[in-house]
Amino acid sequence: MTERKVRVRFAPSPTGALHIGGVRTALYNYLFARQHGGELIFRIEDTDSTRFVPGAEEYIIESFKWLGIHFDEGVSFGGNYGPYRQSERRDIYKKYVQQLLDNGKAYIAFDTQEELESKRQEIKNFQYDAATRGMMRNSLTLPKEETRRLIDEGHQYVVRFKVEPNEDIHVNDMIRGDVVINSSILDDKVLYKSADELPTYHLANIVDDHLMEVSHVIRGEEWLPSAPLHVLLYRAFGWETTMPAFAHLPLLLKPDGKGKLSKRDGDRLGFPVFPLEWHDPKTGEVSSGYRESGYLPEAVINFLALLGWNPGTDQEIMTMEEMVKLFDITKCSKSGAKFDYVKGMWFNREYLLMKDNKELAPDFDKILRANGIEVPMDRVEAVIGMMKMKKINFIKDLWPLCDFFFIAPTSYSMEDKFTKKNWGETSASDMTELADILEELDDFSVEGQQTAVEKWVEVTGKKPWNPWRVALVGTGKGPDMYELSAFLGKEETLRRIRKAIDILK
Ligand code: GLU
């Protein structure tokens, strides 16, 4: 058999913000497509109009743009297999529903919600299947003419898939191997509803995967229970030879304890579960996003890539190119992956450190401006350069560590622990001597200061560093004193030292 062209798809339903688990699914599809020189399709599965949320589709597209996940075809990307929005494919599905009806693989059912409800009351654990369909109002139990008449009179109906009982169905999963499920546990799933003339997820999903020549279905574990039905559908259509291979990805679990990661975990522990900030159009609720929280997209991608897969070595930091090379769908874990959001912050820090200060400057500049500080960009860059190694995970963490670069201490006080510990008997006179030395300098660069100050330190044995820090910062934080003084310049440095002497004596 010749190798099939790799075509995979990410097929979200536009029911709200894209969950971070969905982002991981899309990423794995992307890596798989790229490493096989294949194509990645973006399909919108919007056949359930009751769950449609305006803005969701645009949100999803913007999220992937930010994350750097590119689709080869699909909604907003174009391509030869369109339309890629299921709500625009009604006529296509109708034809295939008819095919299943014609060859006896599906049937029409007229049961109303009330009738189904009363059956549920009557029979414990009722499900519509081989054992019960004979008791219901459908084209299998009603005379042909009656079925015709009901349709012609405009009664609403659904089309159900006729699942033959007692057969072991094999789902060949690239991660889980041979998954066997007995058909008797399946119900006769609704494939189509006359009320809105739309297919349900199952039918549309299979028809589209077939028509779009999808070779591999890579999706979340929550879809594994649907897979046996999907296998049966491929067979019912006679498409088994081109049935895609399946891979059901491990669940994302709560950071603490067991269970599926939910938005509530994010709210409770303080991390986003959405790529971008989301404004719910119905409730008005605003949910935080990775982008707005100060994450770099590369860090989010790298973090997500390792939730459920690893390259089999200790390597954690990987570019997209490396991931494309190393990724192996068959090596994904079967069991759930703990959503270690603290690790996510660590990734962000690592990526911040790898970035050029110039690239980070605009973001920090925004924060400075929000705090009323406007300085040239090279000053912003210089501060990032001095401070980025400190314990920061986000650019926004820099501000509380860096305010003194731009704002002189307004007060000096022995209430401050660092000041109390380090401003001693001789500090005022030491600082006066230091100020005199610095005042003489023409060259106020790090080296210029160093030469002069070190000479004085050598002769007198003085230790000016901590009181000097008190004077310039007001407390125990900040970079090397020469670097800080050079940044502040001679005038500002001397002003701060003299003010400290004045107040602290
Ligand atoms: N529309 C489904 C979803 O929202 C797609 C599932 C699949 O990939 O088959 O995830």
Cα distances (angstroms) measured from residue 409 to each of 27, 101, 444 = 48, 80, 21
CB under 8 Å to 192, separation ≥6 — which residues? 93, 94, 97, 158, 159, 198, 199, 200, 203
Instruction: Match 């000097």 to its residue by tokens.
Output: 468
Cα of 107 from ligand 1 centre, angstroms: 25
Query: How would you write 364-408 as a 3-class SS string?
Result: HHHHHHHCCCCCCHHHHHHHHHHHCCCCCCCHHHHHHHHHHHHCC
Neighbours of 441 (CB within 10 A): 15
Question: Under a CB-based contact definition with an 8 Å cutoff, are residues 300 and 22 in contact?
Answer: no
pLDDT of res. 390 = 79
- End-to-end, the C-alpha distance of the chain in Å comes to 88
Cα of 318 from ligand 1 centre, angstroms: 28
Q: Is 12 in the pocket of ligand 1 (CB under 6 A)?
A: yes
Instruction: Give me the half-sphere count of Cα atoms (radius 13 Å) on the Cβ side of residue 31.
Output: 26
In the three-class reduction of DSSP (H, G, I as helix; E, B as strand; rest coil), residue 111 is classed as coil
Cα of 12 from ligand 1 centre, angstroms: 5
Return the residue whose CA atom lies nearest to atom 5 of ligand 1: 11
Q: Is 200 in the pocket of ligand 1 (CB under 6 A)?
A: no
Q: Is 249 in the pocket of ligand 1 (CB under 6 A)?
A: no
pLDDT of res. 2 = 59
pLDDT of res. 21 = 97
Atom of ligand 1 nearest to the CA of 12: 4
pLDDT of res. 257 = 79
Question: What is the distance between the alpha carbons of residues 499 and 52, in angstroms, rounded to a whole number?
Answer: 63
Q: Is 226 in the pocket of ligand 1 (CB under 6 A)?
A: no
Return the residue whose CA atom lies nearest to atom 2 of ligand 1: 12
Active site residue 258: no
Question: Under a CB-based contact definition with an 8 Å cutoff, are residues 242 and 2 in contact?
Answer: no
Instruction: Match 């380090």 to its residue by tokens.
Output: 422
168-173 and 177-182 as β-strands: parallel, antiparallel, unpaired?
antiparallel
Q: Is 11 in the pocket of ligand 1 (CB under 6 A)?
A: yes
pLDDT of res. 505 = 83
CB under 8 Å to 243, separation ≥6 — which residues? 231, 234
Q: What is the pLDDT along the chain (505 residues), one digit of tens a residue?
A: 457 899 999 999 999 999 999 999 999 999 999 999 999 999 999 999 889 999 999 999 999 999 999 999 999 999 999 999 999 999 999 999 999 999 999 999 999 999 999 999 999 999 999 999 999 999 999 999 999 999 999 999 999 999 999 999 999 999 999 999 999 999 999 999 999 999 999 999 999 999 999 999 999 999 999 999 999 999 999 999 999 999 999 999 999 978 999 999 999 999 999 999 999 999 999 999 999 999 999 999 999 999 999 999 999 999 999 999 999 999 999 999 999 999 999 999 999 999 999 999 999 999 999 999 999 999 999 999 999 877 899 999 999 999 999 999 988 999 999 999 999 999 999 999 999 999 999 999 999 999 999 999 999 999 999 999 999 999 999 999 999 999 999 999 999 999 999 999 8
CB under 8 Å to 491, separation ≥6 — which residues? none
pLDDT of res. 236 = 98
C-alpha 344, offset from chain centre: 11
Query: Amino acid identity of 226?
Result: S
Q: Which of 8, 9, 10, 13 to mutate to test the pocket of ligand 1 (most atoms within 8 A of CB)?
A: 13
Cα of 298 from ligand 1 centre, angstroms: 25
Q: Among 143, 110, 116, which Cα is nearest to 128's?
A: 116
Which of 65, 263, 331, 477 does the annotation list as catalytic? Answer: 263
Q: Is 311 exposed, middle or buried (0-12, 13-18, 19+ CB in 10 A)?
A: middle
Question: What is the distance between the alpha carbons of residues 75 and 42, in angstroms, rounded to a whole number?
Answer: 6
Q: Which of 209, 223, 248 to mutate to test the pocket of ligand 1 (most atoms within 8 A of CB)?
A: 223
**Backbone φ and ψ of 480, nearest 5°:** -55, 140
Q: Calculate Rg over the CA atoms of the chain.
A: 32
Element (H, E) at 22: helix 20-35
Cα of 476 from ligand 1 centre, angstroms: 53
Question: What is the distance between the alpha carbons of residues 229 and 129, in angstroms, rounded to a whole number?
Answer: 13
Question: What is the distance between the alpha carbons of residues 287 and 59, in angstroms, rounded to a whole number?
Answer: 13
Cα of 498 from ligand 1 centre, angstroms: 67
Cα distances (angstroms) measured from residue 350 to each of 217, 268, 298, 344 = 33, 25, 10, 10
Element (H, E) at 467: helix 465-473
The alpha carbon torsion through 476, 481, 487, 490 (nearest 10 deg) reads 110
- DSSP string across 203-250: HHHHHHHHHTT--EEEEEGGGGGGHHHHHHHHHHHT-GGGPPEEEEEP
39-42 and 7-10 as β-strands: parallel, antiparallel, unpaired?
parallel
Strand partners, 160: 107, 190
Q: Is 219 in the pocket of ligand 1 (CB under 6 A)?
A: yes
In the three-class reduction of DSSP (H, G, I as helix; E, B as strand; rest coil), residue 179 is classed as strand
278-279 and 7-10 as β-strands: parallel, antiparallel, unpaired?
unpaired
